[in-house]
Amino acid sequence: MTGSTSEPVRGPSGAGSAVRTPEDVRRILADQISAGRLQPGQRLGAERALAAELGVSRAALRQALAVLEEGGLVRRVPGRGGGTFVSKGKIERDLSRVVGVPALLRSQGVVAGTRVLSARLAPCDETGARALRLHPGELVIDLVRIRLADGSPFSVEHLMLPADRFPGLLEMPLGGSVYELLAERYGTRPREAVERIEVISASPDEAMILDVVVGAPLLSITRTTTDTQDEPFEFSHDLFRGDRTRIVVRTPGKGSATRASRGRGQVIELRAQAAP
């Protein structure tokens, strides 16, 4: 639901309740979001009115909203037509399955969209060459896209495919699932993917592309995908919004995972298999 709030946001006893601290406000709003009284996408009231309803100063309200935004429960949009909105529910990404983003979103009732930022032939760098079993400098199809969930940025992906395996791919529509396109046009289907997953902080450029604040948590996923003949055909690096993504493993016995510490936190390497 978008637009104005359907009912006032109140403290335990309405506007006259003795709510005094930002933590009180954070707890009340979080409880109302959890209980469903504030719906995903719903716009909270004007700041002045909301502070009056909760019996706090606007400064205390802003502190509470900042904590809620950091936790991914609300999203604040500046400018005319902006305001504070309840964040939409998280999208589950099952690490035990190899599935493209459009299929992932469709399976959860989310409208998928794509903005193609660039699509070109480019020489492969050393990292990509190792993953794809190529020589550095060999040509790859280099594709960068923003994935949209219900019209808002959800992830940005940068993938490389061996150019000699997929002639003419750049002339085809690239806004949908690459996996589906490769299966239909080239008979190439994924069998297994090895993914390295790390939580990072959004840089200024990443924050602008994904519509998050600088420093917001992102899931960084580097993936090498092999086909049914055990030949690698995709090397990619994806960034998913941490406030929109929940990691799950629905078939624990299907994949295997290892963990290692690196830099800012933990890196998880997971081997997933395609659904039969």
Instruction: Give the Cα-Cα-Cα angle 125, 131, 137 (nearest 5 degrees).
Output: 25
**pLDDT exceeds 70 at position 79:** no
Work out the percent of the chain whose per-residue pLDDT is above 70. 80
Closest CA to 157 of 117, 105, 216, 188: 117
What pLDDT does residue 227 have? 95
Work out the percent of the chain whose per-residue pLDDT is above 90. 42
**pLDDT tens by residue, 31-73:** 888 777 888 778 888 888 888 888 899 999 999 998 887 776 7
What pLDDT does residue 262 have? 41
Count other Cβ atoms within 10 Å, centred on residue 69: 18
What pLDDT does residue 250 have? 62
**pLDDT exceeds 60 at position 260:** no
**pLDDT exceeds 70 at position 95:** yes
Whole-angstrom distance, CA of residue 142 vs CA of residue 122 = 6
Q: What integer best gives the mean pLDDT of the chain?
A: 82
**pLDDT exceeds 80 at position 256:** no
**pLDDT exceeds 60 at position 265:** no
Q: Which residue has the higher pLDDT, 32 or 235?
A: 235
Q: Which residue has the higher pLDDT, 60 or 99?
A: 60
What pLDDT does residue 80 have? 66
Query: What pTM was computed for the model?
Result: 0.66
Q: Which residue has the higher pLDDT, 97 or 222?
A: 222
What pLDDT does residue 137 have? 96
**pLDDT tens by residue, 166-206:** 999 999 999 989 999 999 999 999 999 999 999 999 999 99
Residues 6+ apart with CB under 8 A from 89: 40
Whole-angstrom distance, CA of residue 274 vs CA of residue 276 = 6
Phi/psi of residue 73, nearest 5 degrees: -85, -30
pLDDT band of 87, cuts 50, 70, 90: confident
Whole-angstrom distance, CA of residue 134 vs CA of residue 16 = 69
Residues 6+ apart with CB under 8 A from 229: none
What pLDDT does residue 2 have? 42
What pLDDT does residue 5 have? 41
Q: Are 156 and 206 in contact (CB under 8 A)?
A: yes
